[in-house]
Structures are given as C-alpha cells and as structure tokens.
Structure 1
Amino acid sequence: MRIDTPVWLFLALASLVLSTTGHAQETDSANEEESPRTIAEITGESDRFEGLFTLFRDRDSGETHLLIKPDQLDREYIYFAVSLNGVRQGGHFRGNFRDNRVISLSRHYDRIEFHYENTAFYFDPEHPLSRAASANISPALLASVEIAAEDEETGELLIGADELFVSEQLLQIKATPDPDQGPKDAFRLGDLSDDKTKITAIRSYPLNTDIQVEYVYDNSAPVVRGNEEITDSRYVSISVQHSLIAIPENDYEPRFTDHRMGYFSQQITDLTQDHPTPYRDLVERWHLVKRDPNAELSEPVEPIVWWIENTTPIEFRDAIREGVLAWNRSFEKIGFRNAIEVRVQPDDADWEAEDIRYNVLRWTSSPDPLFSGYGPSFTNPRTGQIIGADIMLEFATTLRRVQYQRILGGLGGASTEIPEGLEPGYCSFAHDLQVSHAFGRFAVNALNLGSAVEEQVLREFLIDLVLHEVGHTLGFAHNFAGSRMLSHDDLYDKAAVDRAGLYATVMDYTDIHVAPPGRDQTNFFTLVPGPYDDWVVEYSYSPGVDDTTAERQRLDAIAGRSTQPSLLFGTDDHVMRGAGLGSDPRIHWYDMSNDPIRYAVERIELIEGLLDDSVDKLSREGQSYHELRDGYIVMLAQIGRSISVLTHQIGGVYINRSVVGQPGARTPFEPVTLEDQQRAMAALSEHLFAPTALAAPADLYNHLQEQRRLWNFRNATEDPKIHEWVLDLQSSALNHFLHTRVMSRITDSRLYGNEYGLAEVMTDLTDAIFAADLRGDVNTFRQNLQTEYVRRLIAIVADEDDYDHTSRSMALFQVQEIERRLSRKRGGNLETRAHTQSILYLIERLLEGNA
C-alpha cells in the first residue's frame, strides 16, 4: 500500500535533522574553544628569552608571558629595581636604586602569587617560639596572576607578565604626594597610562632576569608645568628595570656588625633572645676569598671588577682608575692583592651598562642633577652579601656652571633636605664636593696659581669623589669624624699628607684644602684611604676563622681599637648638619685639622682676602660678569661652611662609643671645653656679627651681575640681594644658638661638666650683636641682624610648648637687657634712630601683651 507523505512534513523533518546536526557542530566547536590552550599554542608566535626565568613576547602584539618551572615555586629570589631614566621632579634619575628585597612565588589554585618576604626578624629554630614566627608580622602579597596555561607532564606554568610588570604592583613608581603640599606647590606625575606603558626590553641570563619598563603618566591639565627637562608636562615617562636574581649558592659567611664603626647593614632583630640589644645586623660586603688561603698575600678567587663606561670623558679616565684602585692599598694590608680591578667598556661592547652582571662607573650630563656622584650597591638581604653595584657620576660636577639656588639655599653650611627616592643612605657628598671644586677653581685664579694647578685641582677632585663613592659600594657608610687626624701645621707638611692623606677616612664630607698666602700647598683633596678606612676594611673583609667563638673574639679585638683617635666614628644620624641636629661637633661636614676653630677662621680670612681684588681676578675680557657672581656666591657658601663649624662648638657634647672595660674608653658624653666654646664665640663675634663682618668692596657689589638669558628675570629682579644673603649666613648661626634642643642641651650638660652655661652663652651672643654700636650709627647689616635676633627672642618667650622654662626665662632677660641698653641710646643718624625705635616698639608690644 502506498502512503503519501505530505511535503510539509518532509520539510519539517529535514529541518529538524539539519538543526540538530548544526547544533551538534556548534557545541563541538564551542567545546574546542573552551578547552585550555597549551603553552606551545600561546607562545608559538613569540620570541623566547631563556634564562633564570623564561619569558615570551608575541612578535605581533608584544604581549608578554612568564614561564614558571615547578622548582621555582615556594623558593626565594632577590628582587632589585633601578631607574633607567626619569626626571628629577618625578623622583627618578638614571641609576637610582629603588628597591632590594627577597621575593617568592607560590601557587594558590589557578593563580600565582608574588610575595615580599620580611627579613627584619630572626627566630632561633631551636626555640619553641619559632613555631609562631609569622605571628603579628604582616605579609606583603604583591600580585596574584591567573595561570594562562599548564603543562601536565613537566608541571610548567605560564602567566601573563604584562599584568605584573606594566603596573606598580612590584614597585611604587609614582611618589606619594606630600600632604603638606597642595597641587599648586609642586610638580606631580599624572595617572599611569595603560595604553602607553610598555615593556621595552627583556634580558634573561642563567642567574638573573631583567625586564625594562617605560611607565608613562598622563595629566591632561597639569597645574605645575615642571622644569625644562620635562618636554611636555602632560606626558612624563619613567623607565625602570626590574630584576629577579637567584640567591647566591656559595660558602659566603655573614658577618655581624659592631656599633663602633660604620657600614651599610641588614637590620635583623632576634625575637627569641633576652638581651637589651637583640640585634643580628649583618655587614654588607662582597664575597672576597683568597685564591691561596695560606699565602700572606694572595689574589682573590673573584676580584671586584669595575668597568669605566664608554660614556666617560677620555681625559677623566686615568683619575677615575686611580681613585678606584687606591682602595687596593687597604686590601693589601689584610692579605689581598688586586682585590679590585678596573677595565674600560669597549665602544663596541655587546653589553649594556644596565646589565647587573657588570659593576659600572657611569657618566651622565643632566640639566638639573640631584647629585654629582652616587654609589649604591644591591645585596642578598638574608646574608648581607653584595651582589652588584653601579656608580653614577655627573659631568656637571666638573663644569663652571653654578647652581645658584642650591648653593644659596645652603649658605648656613648644607641643606638638610633629602630628595625623593634617595633615603635611606642618601649621599650628597658629590654635590657638596662640586662647591669645593668651584671654590678651588676661583681660588686658583685669584691667587694666580696658573692653569696647571687648576688641572691638578680637577684631577684630585675626581680621585676624591671616586674614592668616596667606591667606598659606599664596598659597603661603607659615611664617617663624618675623620677630619681631625692631622694637626693644623701637618696640613701644610707634604710628607705628612703624602703618608696619611688629609683625612682619616675618605667617607667623610671633605672640603678642598687651599693654603693661604705664606703657607705651603699640599694636596687639595685627599687621595688615599686613611687609617679608619683600613680599619673598616679589616673588620669587613679580613678572612675569618672556622671556630665561631674564636671568630667573635677576633672581630672584637679589631673593633676594640675604636678608641684610637684616628678611628673616631660618627655617621648620618650623628652629624651636625643643621640646627638641632646632632650634638658632637667632631662629627661634622667640611671641618679640618685637630683645631677646626683655627682652620675655620683661617678659611674665612683667606676668602676675605680673595674678595678684595676679585673683580680684577675673576673678570674676563669680552665676557659678562656671570663668572664673578659665581665666584662671590661660592665664596659666601665657603664662609657659611666655616661659620657652621664655629657655631656648632657652642653647646656641643662629644659622644664616645666605647664599651665597658674597653682599653682607652672615655665617658660616653663629654661637653666641649669652655676654652673651645669661648674661642668659637669670639671668632663668630668678629667674623659674622661685627659691624664690618662679611663686608666686601663696593666695586664688587655693583658688578655681581648674572648674565641675561631670554626672560629669566621675569619673576624676579637681577640686582644682587646682598643684605638677604648676609642675613642668611647670620641666621644660620642664630638657628643653632636659639634652637630648643641646643638651649636645653646647654642647660642639661652643665650637670655633667659643661662650664659654658646658657646665661653666659646668651650674654655673649647679645654682646656680639649689640655692644659694638651702642654709642654710634648702626649699619644696615647690623640692623637686619639685631632685628632678627630680637624677633626670635620674643618668639621664644611666647612659645610655651617647645621651649623649657630656663630657655624662655633667659630669652626674656635678654629682651629686657636689650631694652635697657637701647632706651639709653642717644644720637645716631636717622636710620639708626628709626631702627632703635623699631626694636623698642617690638619689645614694648611683647611686654604689654604678657603683662
């Protein structure tokens, strides 16, 4: 029987079959798309960078991936970051070390986590408390990145690297704004641009992997435009290199610090030890081992090799080499021959200075440098072993270009400001040494010493600079107590200076040594490591012994020599670099000889003589008077340094860091002698406060002209601000005398030997400022000084929070004494009478307001 099938039913069934088949195909296709991609599939069109960590970068999109092997999980590495390029106002500059930590990777389900490890604490593994080692210590989870692919056979994992590096997860690039500054007060970076920020280079080696990133910050409407080095303040680029480094596997033995000498260290606190100072701080030092342990003098297995970058001016290279190799003198004394080597990077070298496998002395010429030399190192934070270092040197250091604002801002001796990105371990030595070099150049011209001597000044300056910065890379901290090694007369004895140098250490902030007329010129700068440097090299690098107890005794014996005068030590947190900072005037910048008062006075008198005929000596035919102005400002800065040395003797307390029972130990706190404090006050009275102090010839003042350039006087006037500059110098001394800490210390120290009490100090200070012209005219410099002094005294009287009662009482007494003296003053020119009435008016308002 024939059955007719309707056409519509046939079509419906066909449609159903096709639909089902199509759906099945779509489902199969979807399943194929959803199936995990393999590592090979993701990286098939990528360049491969094999090394400690393997990275892949897609040749079309630039997308980057990081390969992680199973044995790289739950393992520690060293993370190190350095700025490759930037702008000062953005807080970055080439060679600026940014971070140095221990980092680890771990897996959490389908993600890889990156952690910073806390290395600040130690738990004795034998102590029960070690089981609670993680209690109340915050971990740092930096990033959690999704796993993109996994190889089931090898266990290798692949993650996206862009998320990790093209962000601020590993390192904060943009500085936190100063809460005391508004948007109009300072230049600020904009927002990080996701589109513009990119990985620019990848280098991977067996022991380290380096990833270079250009971070771009956008700000469509900046309030502060920034300096000339910022091409367009809307778009600012900062380049940073991130390095992952294998933990060294060697026989390096950590060495514990001793508080009587100075080096960079890893601070570690033992939380299982019952001791007043449970410290296990580790010296930062290179792994230096004798090739022949039994030889009295042996080359090291691996020397410390420095490369002079091919950017270095040819004419500077010999001096730089000499400065580096001078440290070998100290290492030879502990049995190492050629511990340090110097090589020159070829012009066609196949490696870049950024490669952390090389220690490089690098040169830049920046428009507005933060430094003239900068020498940090990076370490294994677990042990203190130094792994690598660079030294940045600025060409501006050697030029005649004077940075007015930075010098004028430090007329009181030095700036106490630490720029963004440089703390801790900030070193401004090279900038300050630049001022010394500039003064030396002007002095050579003014004294008619000739071009050969000027070249000698530059050569010695470079050697001193490199000695200091290499010292930092060896692990040595500043020692600002090295200037008193030689007697005043020995400074002018060539044999004495050739034998030991000018300073006990190159880690001090040294000033140029210029002999005044009638004295023999020895070195301008120190050219060799001193006895303190030999000592700290011995402690840090001398070969140890296997027995733990014997090694501790050996190191204690070395440190026990700290009471020798040439081994005096004081570093950044002790130095009297500004008002209220530090208390020991032996720990000071720019002082010299075991009689710093005499040397400071001699330097001021030298400059006073140089100023007398500076117009003739520092003016050049056919040129503007810009160089003359430079010379005057640099000489003022030199006077400011000497004033600082003199001022800080008053109220000073020597700090001695010997331990109980140590041979030669002195009392921890000893006030400066009455004789020295009074000598310093007398010198200040004559050279800073007297009516004729800081005076210069009239024909100098009217030649202090800065050379015009476009509209650089648009927001100011170009006439010299002579009274302002002089008052800045005088105020720097008042800042010290009238600081609450200093006034309180003068009173406190009377209880343990100070014979120059607050009453005597303040009476002598008032006499120095007022006595000389009580019966005559008061010149305008003294008017400024006297008014400033009285205003400060009045402020102390009114300040009930910061000053103790003794200080406020003495300030009030001096105000009333000044009123008594001035109220009896008769005569004087109109300026003097107006000035006298002005001060009496200020005092009257104070007394009436506190009646």
Structure 2
Amino acid sequence: MKWTVSWLLWLMLSTSQTWAAGEAAADQDESDADAKETVAELIEGDQHYPGLFSFYRDTETGDTTLLLKPEQLNQEFIYFIHIANGIVDAGSFRGAYGPRFVFTIERRFDEVAIVRQNTAFYFDPENAISGAAEANIARAVLAVQPILAEDEETGELLIETDSLFLSESFSQLTPTPNPDADPKTQFTLGGLDKDKSQIVALRSYPENTDIEVEYAFFNAAPLVSGSDAVTDSRHIAIRAMHSLIEMPKNDYQPRYADARLGSFNQQITDLTSTEVAPYRDVINRWHLVKKDPSAALSEPVEPITYWIENTTPLAWRSMIRSAALEWNKAFEKAGFRNAVEVKIQPDDADWEAGDLRYNVLRWTSSPNPPFGGYGPSFANPRTGQLLGADIMLEFSFLNRSTLARELIQGESVSTTPALWPSDHHCGVSHVLGLGGAFAELAVKAAGGSAKIEEQLTRDRLYYLILHEIGHTLGMNHNMKATQLLSRDQISDPSVKATGILAGSVMDYPAVNFAETEAEQTLFYTIAPGPYDDWYIEYAYSTALADAPAEAARLAEIAARSSEPQLVFGNDADDMRYPGSGLDPRVNIYDLSSDSIGYAAEHMALMQTTLNKMAVWSPNDGASYQEAVEGAALIIRLWGTSAGVISRWVGGVYVDRSVAGQADATEPFIPVERVQQKRAMAALADHLFAPNAF
C-alpha cells in the first residue's frame, strides 16, 4: 500500500512537471517566432543592387542576400558563366565560355531549391505519351538555400547567397584530373578554399544580374609548379562571372537546322517521333527583325552590335572595324541594311568588357596564349536565340614569340580548354599564324617591299576577324570552302576586286603566296564568300507567317547545297588527322580546287625559300634564331602539305545532298584512280625521293 501511494505521488509530480515544461517550451517557441528578424531588419543598412534579381550586401561583412519575388518562383531563367580572368595552366583563360542552361527556383517549405532543367528533348503535346515526358529524365538540384525571412505582405523571400556562389553549385570550376596523365606532368589547382574566395562585384540590370567571384584554390604540396604565369603554385585565384538572365520575351521564332549548312545548334531530340532522324535542332542566330517588313532592303530594329575594347592597339582599330563591317555585304543579300554595327568602347566607359549586354572584340597579351582568336557565343537553350558573344584576340597572333616556342620546343599554342570542353574551339589563328609566318619569311627571302608586308598583315587580320565574327553569327566551320577557285583563278589579279579566294571565311586555308611580288594577289580571303551569303540567307532572311510555307521556303534555300560554290564539310568531316574523315576535299592547310597541285607547288616554293635562307648571314652580334625558326617552320609546313596530298590516296567524295535533290551526286564516290595516282606521284617527288628536301 505504501508503495502504491508513493508511486502515485511520483507520477502526479512528474506529470505536472512535464506539462509545465511543455508549456514553457511552447511559450519559448512562440517567443522565438515573435523575435525572428524580418526582411526589413535583415537588410537594413545593406547596399542594394536592384534589377532582375534584387541583391543586398552587408557593407561591413560583405555578406550577400537575395530577395526573391513570388513571381520568380517556378519560372524559367537562363544561367551562363564565363571566366573573367584565369590561368591557362589550369585550363581556364579570360573569355572562356562555360555552361549555359535553363534553371528554376522552387520553394520547399522553409527552403528554396535551384534546379537545372533538361532541354535536350521534345514531346509533341498532341501525343498521349507526352504525359510521361519526365520519365527517366533527371533534373539536377544544384543547391538548396534556407529561407532567412519572408515578407508577409509581399510574399518576398530572403535567402543567403554567399554559400551559393562561393561554391561550385552552379558550375564545376575544378578541372577533372586526367587519370591517364603522369601526376608529375599535370598541373593541379588543389581544392577550393571558401574562406579565401570572395564575391568581387554585383551588378544587376532589368534583364540580367551578374555576380563576379574570385575563387581561391589551395594545393599544399603541388608536384608541378606551372609556367611563369603562376605566381605561387600552391595558391591560385580564378575569377568567374555568373549571369542570371531573364528568359527572353519577344516574338523570336526558332529556325530548324539543316545538315547541308554548318550551324551551331541547340540539340533537341523528339521522343514522340517515329522518324529515323528524330531531331528538332534549332540554329543559333540573333533576333534580327526589319524596321520595314514590306521593304526588300531594310535596316533592322536592333542591329548586331560589336564593341572594340579600349585595350585594342590603336593602329589596328580601323582595320578591325572595316573587316567586321564586311559582313554587311552578306546581310544585304538577305534583306538587311547595316545589320552589323561596330563601335569603339570609350576610355571612360562605365561598363566592362565582360558585361554580357555588350558583344566585345577583346584584346589580351598573355604569357601562354591559348589561342590567337576565339569567337564564342551563347544562346537560349530553348530557342537558339543568341543572347551574347565575344571575340577574344591575342597579341600573339601578330607576335612570333609564341609560334617560335611551338616550333622549337614543341609546345602547342593552340589548346582545348581543359575546364570546359568547347564546341566553339577554333584553331584558325594557329593556321594563319603558321601560314603568315612562312609568307613573312618568303617575302624577306625574295627581297619583298614594305607594301607587300602591310598587305599580308591586313589580309591575315581581316580573315581572322571575319572568321571569328562568323562564329558569333552562329556559323561553324566549313573545311571544304577552299575548293571554290582553280589554281589559275587564285593567281588572277581579278580576285583583288572581289576579295574572295574561297567559298567561305570559315575554312582553315593555306596562305596564297606567289613567287614574285608582281604576281601576288590576295594572301587570304578578305570578304564573305558565296557560301557565307547563302548561310546568312538561310539563317536570317525574314520568315513567312505561314508555317508550312516557311518550311518550304527554307527547304528551297537549302536545296541549293549541290551548287559547286556552296559545298560544305565541317570539323567532323575533315581529314586533318590520319584516319579521320573520308573526303580529301574537306581539309585544312589546303587551297584551290586542285589541292594536290597547290600543295606540291607550295612545297617547291618552300624549298626555294630554304635555299635562299642558306646564304643568309646574321648581322654581327645577332643570333641565328631567325634562321633556326625559319627552318623549323618550313619543315612543319612541309609536313602539312604532304598530309594534304596523302589524303587523296584511298579518299571518298561525300555529298550531303538529300535524296531527289537537283544536281546531287551519289552520297559516296571513290576518288578517281588518276587523282590517286597523281597524289602518289607528288609524294614520291616531294617527300620520298632522295633529293626531295
């Protein structure tokens, strides 16, 4: 009995204490809720960056927050990243374009998630299977951020953003190591050091918000110290620009790609189609609209505008502008007057070249140039509408020092970025560098004048600018374009008036060098060719309102692909490497419709130049460096010419025409026996003979 009473007393006491504790906890929770800081309190005194996304920054700590509007939830935006400043050793460089994708911001109770959307597939909404459109297609949850506060009146949500941007949530920045590489030869960044990383700048505009971040990496014991451009291999800093972009709201109409023309595309597969090739790829192009739709020739509502960065050498600005404006000739044939504008960035401009609202021709002089020229662009992944572009130009293009390092030390000046493999990688500056260097050497050996040297500089620079701008207009390479003219035609003085040696400026041509100054015509093409005109017509001519009629119109334009001046073959088709490609007409370092004859002629010219170099004597006190570089250059180009000839042996002509197309040939035709034997004879004379070199 005593035990029972004691037990009851203990139970009553403990229960009352539990109730009291529960009441206290509830009161505390209510008190904490009442004490939770509001949005206004959290951002009080912070610097405000209003725009598409409203950012705030604590002026003492530098901490950043983002105030999301209710209407920004579950809406699609575009993300884009590029390198503001990098280090080539680590696979990054100024101007390198990174991933671009569609993302949404979704609320999850007391958090928001940043979710990358998959845009690679299409489902016909009229097909019942479209109801399973998300099956086995993974979204990517990039980050989840806690909600710091919610405005009860407006519904706005405040989230912390330092952890979002001082990490690799949006994009990978640490290069993936090559598992097959020797660790003793591979430069490594180490790990991302968030404590040393910082948000450098915030800029917000009505249609985009930019966040510039300096990422610090630390490697305690690096095996490779890197180049002289690496100040301390343990500590590396890379600056990247994140851009959050509003999904364009306009009447832009996507235009479908055609395999007979070379365009950069947004690749989309129709998973409700029964076609053998179920693709709905849309080409990348600018939103170019006529001011006067009824006029055959009209200025655009908004031209494609390029800015020459104020870092550009003064002596070249006029030449660069003139070269870029040559593209207006092609646009005029498509119905647009002054479609391309070129302006010069003022020295006191209040905007930076990295601002995606401006398309900029940028100049740098890097210790280890990754290119001489590079023309990237980025587009809306949903439609292909181009939203921004830059043209990166290196002083090394006209500076022989990096070329000399490649020739003597075997180090390539043209490398593919290791961080973000790019579909816009371009090596034309490297090809022009080798060809131009040989032309300079040959001009000197022949006692050429300063006038011919000036023309060589002009032709090279014109071609580089035309080529890279072509990329920013949505064009990929056409390595078949040099087939346009015969050997006699490229030597005819009339080409000076047309400015054209090839069907397109999107090829990697050999230099057109004559034996004497009097015979010299153009070194390189300096105006858009017939293929370029045709491409611009397909990509930019005004669409018809009726969809079936528009499809028929585009098909009619594309059907001209069988015309000889419009031949096309891109990087996937070319035969630059042994074992790649089939058609010997699709190649680099070649020129004219007789690439065998031109290459053999070029090798003979190189032999003549080498013989003249043999009697050179440097001035007293000077080194023999020029002679060494010249000999190495000739040996290098001798090999490329031999490679061009060799591809004709066993080659197969390829025709991209569709079945039933007028003037089309069979898809695959073996190279004529006589041409194959001619190629073998040229190799025997210029490569295998005892006195060939």
Under a length normalisation based on structure 2, what TM-score does the superposition of the two structures give?
0.94
Cα distance in structure 2, aligned partners of 1:537 and 1:440:
32
- Match in the other structure for 2:76: 76
Aligned CA distance change for structure 1 residues 498 and 621 (closer, same or farther; 3 Å): farther
Letter in 2 for 1:363: W
Is 1:209 paired with 2:170?
no
* Pairwise CA distance, 1:296: 1.6
The 10-residue stretch of structure 1 (522-531 or 628-637) with the greater mean CA deviation from structure 2: 628-637
* Pairwise CA distance, 1:36: 2.0
Cα distance in structure 1, aligned partners of 2:604 and 2:229:
40
- Match in the other structure for 1:336: 336
Aligned CA distance change for structure 1 residues 426 and 95 (closer, same or farther; 3 Å): same
Aligned CA distance change for structure 1 residues 36 and 561 (closer, same or farther; 3 Å): same
Conserved in 1, the CA contact under 8 Å of 2:495 and 2:521? no
Cα distance in structure 2, aligned partners of 1:417 and 1:646:
26
Is 1:478 paired with 2:477?
yes
- Match in the other structure for 2:174: 174
Letter in 1 for 2:303: P
2:148 is paired with a residue of what secondary structure?
strand
- Match in the other structure for 2:142: 142
Letter in 2 for 1:507: M
The 10-residue stretch of structure 1 (432-441 or 298-307) with the greater mean CA deviation from structure 2: 432-441
Cα distance in structure 2, aligned partners of 1:691 and 1:615:
19
**Which deviations, in whole Å up to 9, do the C-alpha atoms of 1:647-691 show, x marking residues without a partner?**
111111111011111000100011111111111111111211222
Q: How does 1:421-460 map to 2 (within 5 A)?
A: 421-460=420-459
- Match in the other structure for 2:3: none
- Match in the other structure for 2:504: 505
Cα distance in structure 1, aligned partners of 2:29 and 2:287:
59
Conserved in 2, the CA contact under 8 Å of 1:372 and 1:395? yes
Q: How does 1:587-626 map to 2 (within 5 A)?
A: 587-617=586-616, 619-626=618-625
Q: How does 1:356-755 map to 2 (within 5 A)?
A: 356-404=356-404, 406-407=406-407, 418-420=416-418, 421-499=420-498, 501-517=500-516, 520-617=519-616, 619-694=618-693
Between the aligned residues of both structures, percent identity stands at: 49
- Match in the other structure for 1:17: none
- Match in the other structure for 2:193: 193
Cα distance in structure 1, aligned partners of 2:159 and 2:598:
64
- Match in the other structure for 1:245: 245
Cα distance in structure 2, aligned partners of 1:576 and 1:419:
22
Cα distance in structure 2, aligned partners of 1:347 and 1:604:
47
Conserved in 1, the CA contact under 8 Å of 2:85 and 2:94? yes
- Match in the other structure for 2:16: none
Cα distance in structure 1, aligned partners of 2:268 and 2:372:
32
- Match in the other structure for 2:53: 53
Cα distance in structure 2, aligned partners of 1:683 and 1:101:
50
- Match in the other structure for 1:112: 112
Aligned CA distance change for structure 1 residues 684 and 405 (closer, same or farther; 3 Å): farther
- Match in the other structure for 1:824: none
Cα distance in structure 2, aligned partners of 1:649 and 1:310:
47
1:143 is paired with a residue of what secondary structure?
strand
**Which deviations, in whole Å up to 9, do the C-alpha atoms of 1:407-441 show, x marking residues without a partner?**
46989xx9997442343231111122112221121
Cα distance in structure 1, aligned partners of 2:367 and 2:72:
43
Letter in 2 for 1:162: D
* Pairwise CA distance, 1:611: 0.5
Cα distance in structure 1, aligned partners of 2:186 and 2:32:
56
* Pairwise CA distance, 1:278: 1.0
Letter in 2 for 1:149: A
Letter in 2 for 1:572: D
Cα distance in structure 2, aligned partners of 1:265 and 1:532:
18
Conserved in 2, the CA contact under 8 Å of 1:618 and 1:631? no
Aligned CA distance change for structure 1 residues 387 and 415 (closer, same or farther; 3 Å): same
* Pairwise CA distance, 1:498: 2.7
The count of residues paired between Structure 1 and Structure 2 equals: 671
* Pairwise CA distance, 1:403: 3.1
Is 1:42 paired with 2:42?
yes
1:236 is paired with a residue of what secondary structure?
strand
Cα distance in structure 1, aligned partners of 2:29 and 2:387:
53
Letter in 1 for 2:459: E
* Pairwise CA distance, 1:362: 0.3
* Pairwise CA distance, 1:624: 1.3
Letter in 1 for 2:365: S
Cα distance in structure 1, aligned partners of 2:432 and 2:473:
20
**Which ranges in structure 1 are unaligned for 5 or more consecutive residues?**
1-19, 695-851
- Match in the other structure for 1:129: 129
Cα distance in structure 1, aligned partners of 2:302 and 2:187:
46
Letter in 1 for 2:129: L
Aligned CA distance change for structure 1 residues 43 and 617 (closer, same or farther; 3 Å): farther
Is 1:316 paired with 2:316?
yes
Under a length normalisation based on structure 1, what TM-score does the superposition of the two structures give?
0.77
Aligned CA distance change for structure 1 residues 121 and 33 (closer, same or farther; 3 Å): closer
Q: How does 1:799-838 map to 2 (within 5 A)?
A: none
Q: How does 1:738-777 map to 2 (within 5 A)?
A: none
**Which deviations, in whole Å up to 9, do the C-alpha atoms of 1:715-767 show, x marking residues without a partner?**
xxxxxxxxxxxxxxxxxxxxxxxxxxxxxxxxxxxxxxxxxxxxxxxxxxxxx
Cα distance in structure 1, aligned partners of 2:207 and 2:617:
55
* Pairwise CA distance, 1:32: 5.2
- Match in the other structure for 2:280: 280
**Which deviations, in whole Å up to 9, do the C-alpha atoms of 1:382-423 show, x marking residues without a partner?**
000001111100001111314345346989xx9997442343
- Match in the other structure for 2:232: 232
Aligned CA distance change for structure 1 residues 36 and 681 (closer, same or farther; 3 Å): same
- Match in the other structure for 1:64: 64
Cα distance in structure 1, aligned partners of 2:435 and 2:314:
23
Letter in 2 for 1:225: S
Cα distance in structure 1, aligned partners of 2:494 and 2:29:
90
2:52 is paired with a residue of what secondary structure?
coil
Cα distance in structure 2, aligned partners of 1:615 and 1:410:
23
Higher gyration radius (CA)? 1
Cα distance in structure 2, aligned partners of 1:620 and 1:139:
67
Specify which structure has the bigger relative contact order, considering alpha-carbon pairs within 8 angstroms and separated by 6 or more residues.
2
* Pairwise CA distance, 1:212: 0.4
Cα distance in structure 1, aligned partners of 2:607 and 2:626:
18
Cα distance in structure 1, aligned partners of 2:429 and 2:645:
23
Task: State the superposition RMSD in angstroms.
Answer: 2.1
- Match in the other structure for 1:94: 94
Conserved in 1, the CA contact under 8 Å of 2:370 and 2:413? no
Conserved in 1, the CA contact under 8 Å of 2:479 and 2:507? yes
Conserved in 2, the CA contact under 8 Å of 1:618 and 1:627? no
The 10-residue stretch of structure 1 (588-597 or 40-49) with the greater mean CA deviation from structure 2: 40-49
Cα distance in structure 1, aligned partners of 2:620 and 2:306:
44
Letter in 2 for 1:660: A
Cα distance in structure 2, aligned partners of 1:423 and 1:299:
33
**Which ranges in structure 2 are unaligned for 5 or more consecutive residues?**
1-19
- Match in the other structure for 2:256: 256
1:458 is paired with a residue of what secondary structure?
helix
Aligned CA distance change for structure 1 residues 28 and 507 (closer, same or farther; 3 Å): same
* Pairwise CA distance, 1:638: 1.8
**Which deviations, in whole Å up to 9, do the C-alpha atoms of 1:333-354 show, x marking residues without a partner?**
1110000001000111111101
Conserved in 1, the CA contact under 8 Å of 2:389 and 2:472? yes
Is 1:294 paired with 2:310?
no
Conserved in 2, the CA contact under 8 Å of 1:409 and 1:415? no
